[in-house]
């Protein structure tokens, strides 16, 4: 399922009276909900977007955000999956931009909480790619 299909689904949902939509295709599924409030301000990646990696949250179990520092095609690091432990400085992904592979490294160590972008997807500047649960 590519990004265009998801966009079409969002538009379809916006025009309809349906409040929730779940679609599965080619082993992937998306769940869309209408009229939902945007996540609260502190979850927005933009505050940290000028850095390759976001600043840790002041919460008890700090969640560390890794955002795209450039526009390109995102690639997971081999074998990266939620629950895996990463070390500070470890390469966690690549962004292919103008035929150059740019490494994405974790500035802190922790456990991969969530991978938010599919391998091979186009990403824009500042887009949230993954979250790490910081060690500590």
Partner 1 sequence: MGAIKKVLIANRGEIAVRIIRACRELGVASVAVYSEADQDSLHVQLADEAVCVGPASSKDSYLHMPNIISAAIITGADAIHPGYGYFSESPSFTEACEACNLQFIGPPASAIESMGDKAKAREIVEKAKVPVIPGAKGIITNEQEAMRTASRMGFPLLIKASAGGGGRGIRRVDRPDDLLAALRTATTEAEAAFGVGDVYMEKLIEKARHVEVQVLADKHGACVHLGERECSIQNNRRQKMIEEAPCPVLDEKTRHAMGEAAVRAAKAVGYFSAGTIEFLVDSERNFYFMEMNTRIQVEHPVTEATVGLDLVKLQLAIANGEKLPFSQKDIRPNGHAIECRITAEDPDNDFKPSSGTISKLNWPGGPGVRIDSYVYQDYTVPPYYDPLLGKLIVWGHDRTEAIDRMLRCLSELQVEGIKTNAAVHAKILQHADYRKGEFTTNFVTNLIASNGRAAA
Q: Would you tell me which residues interact with partner 1 (CB under 8 A)?
A: 46, 49-50, 70-73, 97-98, 100, 122-127
Nearer to partner 1, 61 or 100 (CB): 100
Nearer to partner 1, 30 or 47 (CB): 47
Nearer to partner 1, 45 or 62 (CB): 45
How does DSSP assign the chain, residue by residue? --HHHHHHHHHHHHHSS-SEEEEEETTEEEEEETTPPPPPGGG-GGGGTTSSBPPPPSSSS-EEEEE-SSSEEEEEPTT--TT-EE-TT-EEEEEEETTEEEEEE-SS-EEEEEE-S-TT-EE-TT-EEEEEEE--
What is the nearest approach in angstroms of partner 1 to the Cβ of residue 102? 9
What is the nearest approach in angstroms of partner 1 to the Cβ of residue 38? 13
């Amino acid at each position: 399922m590519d990004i265009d299909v998801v966009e079409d689904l969002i538009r379809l949902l916006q025009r309809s009276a349906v409040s929730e939509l779940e679609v599965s295709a080619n082993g992937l599924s998306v769940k869309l909900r209408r009229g939902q409030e945007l996540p609260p301000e502190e979850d927005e990646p933009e505050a940290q977007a000028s850095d390759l990696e976001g600043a840790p949250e002041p919460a008890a179990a700090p969640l560390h955000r890794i955002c795209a520092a450039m526009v390109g095609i995102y690639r997971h690091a081999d074998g990266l999956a939620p629950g895996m432990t990463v070390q500070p400085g470890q390469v966690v992904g690549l962004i292919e931009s103008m035929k150059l592979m740019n490494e994405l490294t974790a500035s802190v160590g922790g456990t991969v909480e969530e991978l938010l972008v599919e391998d091979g997807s186009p990403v824009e500047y500042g887009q949230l790619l993954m979250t790490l649960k910081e060690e500590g």
